[in-house]
Amino acid sequence: MTFLHLAALAAILALFPVFLYRAAKGPTIFDRLIGLNGIASKSILLLVLIGAVTGHTGMFIDLSLGYGLLNLVGALAIGKYLESKGARAR
């Protein structure tokens, strides 16, 4: 069973450079945001899988819950800021 968790962990780690490429390459600032948001939601999953592999699932689920909350609040703050910044943001 842990082999499956390890394989899923490796698959998600293999996906990270894709979103880093999008965050680095993205022409507009919003492409960068969507890339980082993709990384953040993957890292929630990464934390849960690490917990499943190491056995301390309880602790890691709380970590990923906290991280998910922070990610949403961060997205809201960035969205509100860029919305008011107007067309210069592009």
Partner 1 sequence: MILQVLSALLITGGIFFLTCSAVGAIRLPDFYTRAHALGMTDTLGTLLVLLGLALPLGFSLESGKLLLLAVFIFIAAPTACHIFVRAAFRSGLKPWTRETKDPSHD
Residues that bind partner 1 (CB under 8 A): 1, 4-5, 8, 11-12, 15, 18-19, 21-22, 25-28, 30-31, 33-35, 37-38, 41-42, 44-45, 48-49, 52, 57-58, 61-62, 64-65, 68-69, 71-72, 75-76, 78-80, 82-83, 85-87, 89-90
Question: For every residue of the chain, which 3-state class applies, written as one string?
Answer: CHHHHHHHHHHHHHHHHHHHHHHHHCCCHHHHHHHHHHHHHHHHHHHHHHHHHHCCHHHHHHHHHHHHHHHHHHHHHHHHHHHHHHHHHC
C-alpha to C-alpha distance for 29 and 90, rounded to whole angstroms? 6
Minimal distance in Å, beta carbon 57 to partner 1?
5
